[in-house]
Amino acid sequence: MARQVITFRVNGEERAVVTAPNRTLLNVLREELGLTGTKQGCDDGDCGACTVLVDGAPVLACIMLAAQCDGRDVTTIEGLARQGRLDRVQQAFWHEGGMQCGFCTPGMIMSSYALLQRNPHPTDEEIRQALSNNLCRCTGYTKIVAAVRRAATYDEFSPRSESS
């Protein structure tokens, strides 16, 4: 099969990958770029474990061809932390216990991050709607919603002082 060069920004870094045109973004991220934080779950767009951001919007990397990302910006879970510090959404998930086995967590965090970028103070219903494409088989979503709510109260990289 013919191969093609895909050039895109991944977590702020310009990357070029030579790959087959039928390769998914998920496979290229995990197998060719070594970014294994994006999880491979259902492989048909049902679970959301593979959620990444393309040009700031959440997408399911298991059903998006890598070639569709040529010239675009891709952010994975590895790209959220800055200067060795977790992003506010990552901090909130840790603080609230918004994960159990952790398999769905990267996709949940990426969907939550995208929500807070476009709506800094969402309601619980808006949070649930934004996470409706992400499945968790361990929790009842209560702690996940609480984590997103908490992240909305954080400054960019650190929690505000609060008693808890």
| Residue 4 φ/ψ, nearest 5 degrees | -135, 160
For the whole prediction, is pTM greater than 0.75? yes
Query: Among the residues of 18-133, which ranges form H helices?
Result: 25-27, 88-96, 105-118, 124-130
Both tokens of residue 100?
A: 């159990």
Which domains are present in the chain? 4-79 (3.10.20.30), 88-151 (1.10.150.120)
Assess contact for 149 and 124: CB atoms under 8 A.
yes
pLDDT in tens, the chain (164 residues): 789 999 999 999 999 999 999 999 999 999 999 999 999 999 999 999 999 999 999 999 999 999 999 999 999 999 999 999 999 999 999 999 998 888 999 999 999 999 999 999 999 999 999 999 999 888 778 999 999 999 999 865 444 434 44
pLDDT in tens, 73-93: 999 999 999 999 999 999 999
What is the pLDDT of the chain when averaged over all its residues?
92
Per-residue pLDDT tens over the stretch 91-111:
999 999 998 888 999 999 999
